Amino acid sequence: MEIINIALAGTLESSDAQVTVEPGENGIELTIESSVIHQYGNQIRKVVLETLERLDVQNGRVTIIDKGALDCTLKARVECAVYRSNGITENLPWGGVIK
Partner 1 sequence: MINAVGREIPEEILKATGKEAFKGAYAYDNYEYTKAAPTVRAVSDPNRSKMVENIHEALVKCGIKDGMTLSFHHHFREGDYVVNMVMEEVHNMGIKNITICASSLGKANDPIVPYIEDGTIVGIQSSGVRGKIGEAISTGKLRDLAIMRSHGGRVRAIESGEVHIDIAFIGAPTCDEYGNLRANGGKSDCGVLSYAAVDAEYADKVVAITDCLVPFPNIPASISMVHVDYVCVVDEIGNPAKIATGAAKPTTDVRKIMMADYCTQFVINTPYFKDGFSYQTGVGGASIASTISLGKIMEERGIHMGLGLGGITTPMCSLLEKGLINKLVDTQDFDLGAIESIKKNPNHIEITASEYANPFNKGAYVNKLDFVILASLEVDVNFNCNVVVGSDGMITGAQGGHPDTAAGAKCTIVIAPLLQGRIPAICTNVTTVTTPGETVDVVITDYGIAINPRRQDLIECMKDVDLPFCTIEELRDKAYAMVGTPDAVKFDDRIVGIIDARDGTIIDVVRQIKDFEFDD
Site residues (vs partner 1, CB under 8 A): 14-15, 35-43, 45, 67-71
**Cβ closest to partner 1, residue 40 vs residue 83:** 40
**Cβ closest to partner 1, residue 22 vs residue 33:** 33
In total, the chain counts a number of residues equal to 99
In angstroms, what is the minimal distance from the CB of 68 to partner 1? 4
In angstroms, what is the minimal distance from the CB of 74 to partner 1? 10
Q: Which alpha helices (H) appear in the chain, and where do they start and end?
A: 37-54, 71-85
CA distance 98 to 13: 23
In angstroms, what is the minimal distance from the CB of 78 to partner 1? 16
By DSSP bridging, strand 28-34 and strand 60-66 are parallel
Q: What are phi and psi of 84, to 5 degrees?
A: -60, -35
**Cβ closest to partner 1, residue 7 vs residue 48:** 48
